[in-house]
Amino acid sequence: MHPSEVLFQGKRQPLLLPACDHYCGTEKLMLKSMALQQELGPLFDITFDCEDGAAAGDEPAHAQLVVRLLNDEGNRHNRIGVRVHDVSSPFFEADIAVIVGGAAARLAYVVLPKVDSTADVMRAIDLINQHAAKAGRTDLPVHVLIETHGALRDAYNIAALPQVECLSFGIMDFVSAHYGAIPGAAMRTPGQFTHPLVVRAKLEMVAACHAHGKVPSHNVTTEIRDTAVVANDAQRAAAEFGFTRMWSIHPDQIKPIIKAFTPRLSEVNEATNILTEAINANWGPIAQHGRLHDRASYRYYWTVLQRARLAGLGLPDAAAALLGQDPHTEAT
């Protein structure tokens, strides 16, 4: 049996996605992002934006542009998603009809912004599935932005929906929804990691994701020139809050985000040694460096190797052999 079968005993493993989700909303930036993805490989996702990050006033043409680029040969890895207009927008249904209907086979996921309840998400998924089915696609992944009071209230139930694979925290809309009760400084560091209401929201969303094996994605860093700020935010999001993915809004943010979420080589080596010994012990308990390990910790170290592979980290031969061809969690 493959290690994933042993460690998870036939249960669905937690989802893993590339650590960086790069947003872009103009043709120039979309093409630039696609070129960078071709250069680096599928180490990061791209989200074409039809909502806040796109210009207003030409929505039908923008949706057609998204379809054209999704179906272009430049979409080499099929790791490009789209953020559509919110479910209450007059452009929402048209976005779904045009984009899902025209590029379902090449679309990585659909991002739903500003939902206010589980019911909103379910209605959106029903519409997505109608158009996807006509295009020959089933179970198109859905990502949901948690940026309203209602979405935060329902985060646990939203994460439980089978087709939802990621929840993203939308800090600017969330702070704005408090109409001045949360200061603007809480949209950025250090306030975004210290203000009690923001901390509570992030932790509740992340906990909902991990309870259902889904991916929690951290909000954008608005600082686009100082990559040290981006790296610090990404490190804190991962180490202190349990996020496993983060937005980018500028190409210079992509590499610092990926690096912050990638296991260190020392962690990979440790995971490799522990799992190798575990296999030799037929997955029974082992002692290494005076510490006990069993299947509970083996699952953690198995995830370390998977995350390292997904980030494109050069793996030791023994680690690559351990990963093999995992039937459940192939790297994208």
Reduce the secondary structure of 37-91 to three states and give it as a string: HHHHCCCEEEEEECCCCCCCCCHHHHHHHHHHHHCCCCCCCCCEEEECCCCCCCC
Domain assignment of residue 14, yes or no: no
Same domain, 164 and 252: yes
DSSP for 12-46 reads PPPP---SEEEEE-SHHHHHHHHHHHHHH-TTEEE
Determine the pLDDT at residue 330.
Answer: 41
Domain assignment of residue 295, yes or no: yes
Domain assignment of residue 330, yes or no: no
Determine the pLDDT at residue 329.
Answer: 43
Domain-ending residue, one of 239, 261, 283: 261
Domain assignment of residue 158, yes or no: yes
Domain-ending residue, one of 213, 236, 261: 261
CA angle centred on 175, ends 173 and 179, rounded to 5°: 100
- In the DSSP assignment, the letter for residue 96 is I
Same domain, 105 and 190: yes
Same domain, 200 and 316: no
How much is the average pLDDT of 30-55? 94
Same domain, 277 and 190: no
Same domain, 246 and 269: no
Q: How confident is the model at residue 55 (pLDDT cuts 50, 70, 90)?
A: confident
Domain assignment of residue 26, yes or no: yes
Taking a C-beta distance cutoff of 8 angstroms, is the pair 18, 308 a contact?
no
pLDDT digits (tens, 9 = 90+) for 75-88: 999 999 999 999 99
Same domain, 305 and 163: no
Residue of higher predicted confidence among 52 and 175: 175
pLDDT digits (tens, 9 = 90+) for 234-265: 999 999 999 999 999 999 999 999 999 999 99
What CATH number should be reported for the domain holding residue 167?
3.20.20.60
Domain assignment of residue 15, yes or no: no
Q: How confident is the model at residue 2 (pLDDT cuts 50, 70, 90)?
A: confident
How much is the average pLDDT of 269-294? 93
Determine the pLDDT at residue 225.
Answer: 84
Q: Does residue 327 have a pLDDT over 70?
A: no
Same domain, 204 and 88: yes
Domain assignment of residue 328, yes or no: no
- Distance of CA 218 to CAs 149, 162, 224, 278, Å? 17, 21, 16, 34
Query: For the whole model, what pTM was predicted?
Result: 0.93
Q: Does residue 289 have a pLDDT over 80?
A: yes
CB half-sphere exposure, 263, CA atoms < 13 A: 22
Same domain, 155 and 273: no
Q: Does residue 1 have a pLDDT over 50?
A: yes
Domain assignment of residue 108, yes or no: yes
Same domain, 215 and 285: no
How much is the average pLDDT of 153-159? 98
CA separation for the pair 260, 252 (Å, rounded) = 14
Q: Tell me the chain's radius of gyration from C-alpha atoms.
A: 20
Determine the pLDDT at residue 10.
Answer: 67
Same domain, 300 and 237: no
For residue 295, the enclosing domain spans 3-9+264-323
Same domain, 242 and 133: yes
Residue 172 token pair: 């600017």
CA separation for the pair 74, 98 (Å, rounded) = 20
Q: Does residue 300 have a pLDDT over 90?
A: yes
Count up the domains in the chain and report the number: 2
Same domain, 154 and 276: no
Q: What is the mean pLDDT of the chain?
A: 94
- Distance of CA 286 to CAs 283, 302, 331, Å? 8, 15, 29
Cis bond leading into 162, ω under 30°?
no
CA separation for the pair 305, 263 (Å, rounded) = 8
Domain-ending residue, one of 229, 261, 293: 261
